[in-house]
C-alpha cells in the first residue's frame, strides 16, 4: 500500500564525504515497509517537480521511523542534506518490491552491496538476523519469521575507500570488504573479496552499480546460484505509470508487451535471470 505523508526529521548527519544518514519519523509508512523497498522524497522547492527515490537502510515500525543513507549529488539530494532536526518533508512509500527473504531459509546467504548500494543491505541483514534468532524457541506467532532464517549471513561490501556502515554489518554476521584502493580488505571488487575468501554462497541478495550486478549475474549463472539484484535507475513517477525507468527483461512484460520491466514497480528487486544487465 503506497502512502503519501509528511515526515519529520529526527536526525541527520554526514557519515562519510557526501554520504548522509537521515532518520525520519513517519505516521504510517514505516509500519508497511519491507527490506529492499524505497521511498520517494519531494523537494520543498516547487520548481523541482519530480521526487527523489532513496532506498531504505533501516525500518523501525515500533518507533515509526525510517533510516535513509544516501549520497548528496544532484540538487534535490543536496537540498535534503541541508535539512535539520524538526523540519518536515513529504514522502511517498513504501515503493517497489523487497528482497524475498524466504529464499534464504536454511541457506548460506551473501548480502552484497557496492557503494551507495550498501545501505539497503543493512536492513536486509537485520531482518534475516532477527529471523535466525527466533529459530531457537519458535512459537506459532513466529512461524513466518522463522521461515526466512538463513543458516549463515555473510555481508560483502564494496567501496572506493571509506567503509561507511561496515561496523553495523558486523552485528549480523561475518563481513567481507573490498576497496578499489586496497586500503581495507581485498583490493578490487566484491567478487575479488569472494574469490579471496574461497567459499561459495547458496543464495545472493545484492544492490549496487550495474557493472557490479552484471558481474554477479555471470558468477551466479556459472555456479547455478539464485541471485536477486536491486536495480539502480533514474525514476520519475515511482509508481510504474511513466515508463521512465524500464530495464530490458528476458521475457515479455505483461504491462508494456515488450521486453521491458519497470524498475520502480516490477522491481527494484529482480532475480538476475529475469533481466538483461
Query: Does 86 have pLDDT greater than 80?
Result: yes
Q: What number is the average pLDDT over the span 125-149?
A: 76
Give residue 111's pLDDT band: very low, low, confident or very high (50, 70, 90): very high
What whole-number distance in Å separates Cα of residue 39 and Cα of residue 67? 11
Clarify whether residues 155 and 247 are in a common domain.
no
Residues 219 and 266 in one domain: no
**Model confidence over 242-263: pLDDT tens digits?**
555 555 665 655 655 655 666 6
Which residues contact residue 175 at a Cβ distance below 8 angstroms, ignoring those fewer than 6 apart?
Answer: 154, 155, 156, 157, 166, 169
Round to whole Å and give the CA distance between 59 and 33. 7
Residues 236 and 223 in one domain: no
Of residues 141 and 231, more confidence is placed in 231
Average pLDDT over residues 31-42: 96
Same domain, 11 and 118: no
pLDDT of 198: 95
Q: Are residues 128 and 107 in the same domain?
A: yes
| Domain end call among 95, 126, 151 | 95
Does position 127 have pLDDT exceeding 80, yes or no? yes
Position 132 scores a pLDDT of: 86
Residue 238: per-residue pLDDT: 56
**Residue 20: is its pLDDT beyond 80?**
yes
Question: What's the structural domain count of the chain?
Answer: 3
Share the mean pLDDT of the chain. Answer: 89
Task: Give the end of a domain, one of 52, 75, 95.
Answer: 95
Shared domain check, 246 and 185 = no
Alpha-carbon gap, residue 204 to 220, rounded angstroms = 8
Residues 86 and 198 in one domain: no
- By mean pLDDT, which of 47-61, 84-98, 226-240 is the weakest? 226-240
Tell me, yes or no, whether 220 and 134 share the same domain: yes
pLDDT at 234: 61
* Contact between residue 267 and residue 96 where contact means Cβ atoms under 8 Å apart: yes
**Among the three residues 188, 212, 228, which one is the final residue of a domain in this structure?**
228
Range(s) of the domain holding residue 16: 3-95
- 138 and 198 fall within a common domain: yes
Looking at residue 63, which CATH number applies to its domain? 2.40.30.10
Q: What is the structure's pLDDT at 188?
A: 96
Q: Looking at residue 166, which CATH number applies to its domain?
A: 3.40.50.80
The reply to whether omega before 268 is within 30° of 0 (cis) is: yes
pLDDT above 70 (res 159): yes
Same domain, 14 and 50: yes
d(CA 105, CA 226): 13
Would the pTM of this model clear 0.85, i.e. be above it?
yes
The reply to whether 183 and 134 lie within a common domain is: yes
Q: What is the pLDDT of residue 108?
A: 96
Our CA angle for 59, 74, 82, nearest 5°, is 65
Please check whether residues 30 and 43 belong to one and the same domain: yes
Amino acid at each position: 500500500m503506497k502512502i503519501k505523508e509528511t515526515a519529520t526529521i529526527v536526525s541527520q548527519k554526514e557519515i562519510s564525504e557526501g554520504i548522509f544518514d537521515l532518520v525520519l519519523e513517519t505516521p504510517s509508512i514505516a509500519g508497511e515497509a519491507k527490506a529492499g523497498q524505497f521511498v520517494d522524497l519531494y523537494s520543498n522547492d516547487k520548481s523541482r517537480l519530480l521526487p527523489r527515490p532513496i532506498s531504505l537502510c533501516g525500518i523501525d515500525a515500533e518507533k515509526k521511523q525510517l533510516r535513509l543513507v544516501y549520497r548528496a549529488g544532484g540538487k534535490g539530494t543536496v537540498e535534503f542534506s541541508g535539512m535539520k532536526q524538526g523540519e518536515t518533508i513529504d514522502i511517498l512509500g513504501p515503493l517497489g518490491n523487497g528482497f524475498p527473504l524466504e529464499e534464504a531459509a536454511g541457506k548460506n546467504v551473501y548480502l552484497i552491496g557496492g557503494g551507495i548500494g550498501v545501505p539497503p543491505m543493512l536492513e536486509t541483514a537485520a531482518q534475516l538476523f532477527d529471523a535466525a534468532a527466533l529459530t531457537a524457541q519458535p512459537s506459532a506467532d513466529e512461524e513466518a519469521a522463522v521461515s526466512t532464517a538463513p543458516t549463515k549471513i555473510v555481508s560483502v561490501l564494496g567501496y572506493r575507500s571509506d567503509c561507511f556502515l561496515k561496523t553495523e554489518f558486523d552485528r549480523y554476521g561475518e563481513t567481507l570488504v573490498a576497496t578499489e584502493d586496497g586500503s581495507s580488505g581485498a583490493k578490487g571488487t566484491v567478487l575479488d573479496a569472494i574469490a579471496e575468501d574461497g567459499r561459495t554462497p547458496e543464495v545472493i541478495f545484492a544492490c549496487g552499480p550495474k557493472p557490479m550486478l552484471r558481474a554477479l549475474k555471470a558468477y551466479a549463472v556459472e555456479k547455478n546460484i539464485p541471485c536477486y539484484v536491486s536495480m539502480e535507475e533514474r525514476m520519475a513517477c515511482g509508481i510504474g505509470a511513466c515508463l521512465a525507468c524500464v530495464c530490458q527483461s528476458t521475457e515479455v512484460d505483461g504491462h508494456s508487451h515488450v521486453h521491458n520491466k519497470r524498475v520502480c514497480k516490477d522491481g527494484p528487486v529482480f532475480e538476475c535471470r529475469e533481466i538483461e544487465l
